[in-house]
Amino acid sequence: MARDTELLARIESHDAVVGIIGLGYVGLPLAVAFAEAGFRTLGFDVKPEVIDGLNAGRSHITDVTSKRLSKLTGDGPFEATLDFDRLGEADAVVICVPTPLSKTDDPDLSYVVAAAEAVRSTLRPGQLVVLESTTYPGTTREIVQPMLEETGLIAGEDFFLSFSPERVDPANPVWHIENTPKIVGGLTPTCHRLTTALYGEVIDEVVEVSSPEAAELAKLLENTFRAVNIGMVNEMAVVADRLGIDIWEVIEAAATKPYGFMKFFPGPGLGGHCIPVDPIFLAWKMKTLQYRTRFIELAAEVNGEMPRWVVERTAEALNDARKPLNGSDVLVLGVSYKPDVDDVRESPALDIIKILMQRGANVEFHDPFVNVLEIDGELEHSVELTAERLERADAVVITTDHSSVDYGFVGSQAAIIVDPRNAMREACDAIVYPIAGPPRASGSSLAGKS
């Protein structure tokens, strides 16, 4: 039996062993999905505490509960391991490792390269390898394929290689691994067919494209679209402020048009593992082809200025109260990059806190998901959100609007609130400074909703 035919049969019968490299926000939900579908699933990671916790049924991410995980461990189909020599046991290996930017904004593929090296050391005929890590077009074919073919095995003949970008949105209550359409781009038609079959066993809809490069670019287009439009609406917020207009009211009014408009919201800046980073991958790639992506660079510039804009808004609010920013007590609410997660990667709150401290403010933070932050080498601990703490603050800055925070309580105790997230939509006793436009006096409310 041909290698591809044998692997396809193992996939369709759920006898295939699936290996997942990287057990974070992307890899762990995928591993759980395969295990719940009946596939024996091996999860690989380099952190002993993660491996020990998972094998004991303890999840470290919010999208996979420990209750759900514990049903799959022990005698179940899921096992986590530090032993990358066991990659040879897997019929299909999926790489879900981070792809950050370097200090010079170049793509850092060190995690992808390390994963590919691990796969190469155990690669055997008949294996399927899928890269899910977000990266620039050409990575699968130009980086991963040559590394794996150093074994003497040929991609598309002896083993199979594809790219299928992750589409994980942590804490999204509606869209998750199983019901989010999955893009697949195989190196060859056989690679494509096998990868489509694999994901088709656990995901409702598989979207097929012609090549790994098309799949790689599709992922970058998705997040560049968001980054550029968020940059546009952030600039519109500055425009609205100069005109003395409530930007939230304007957005809601524009959104009544039934075609040709999509709502995007301003905020304190971009955060997370995708939107601030992915467009830079594309900009970097195009620079190697002597093309400048001006829209992308401009959006990054506008979005990058938003933390400083929030600090200036805070200084303005304090100045109206006849207080200087230097020496004022500022309480920051929410430091993760989005609501209801504990991920602080690229969070604009970090920059806001740093700038506030540089300007002489005394800063503390509260976040129900984040206990400790490192700011310029110093550890800062989340404080309890009490009436006394809110009353003591000269200004409260809402940088992340977690759903578990009682904003009615915040508004009843704080004197000044800087609200770039539009969390304070209801009338309250505080004076609220939105991201743009005039402050709202105590007792009034905003029309817009985020």
**Cβ-contact 237, 265 below 8 angstroms:** no
Place of tokens 């591809």: 4
Q: Which two tokens stand for residue 304?
A: 């990058």
Report d(CA 20, CA 18) in Å as an integer: 7
Q: Which long-range contacts (CB under 8 A, 24 or more apart) does 4-9 make?
A: 4/160, 4/190, 4/193, 4/194, 6/126, 7/91, 7/92, 7/126, 7/127, 7/128, 7/160, 7/194, 8/193, 8/194, 8/197
Outline where 255-336 has alpha helix (H). Answer: 278-287, 294-320
List Cα–Cα distances, 160 to 1, 124, 191, in angstroms. Answer: 16, 11, 5
The β-bridge partners of 130 are: 94, 162
List Cα–Cα distances, 266 to 150, 234, 311, 439, in angstroms. Answer: 48, 5, 15, 16
**Cβ-contact 159, 123 below 8 angstroms:** yes
Report d(CA 310, CA 295) in Å as an integer: 23
Place of tokens 């790489």: 95
Q: Which two tokens stand for residue 275?
A: 């939107």
Q: Which two tokens stand for residue 346?
A: 């690229």
Catalytic residues: 274
Of 74, 61, 56, nearest to 27 by C-alpha is 61
Of 137, 131, 138, nearest to 162 by C-alpha is 131
Helix-then-strand count for the chain, H and E: 15, 15
Q: Which two tokens stand for residue 14?
A: 């759920």
Report d(CA 239, CA 243) in Å as an integer: 6
Of 247, 233, 232, 255, nearest to 438 by C-alpha is 247
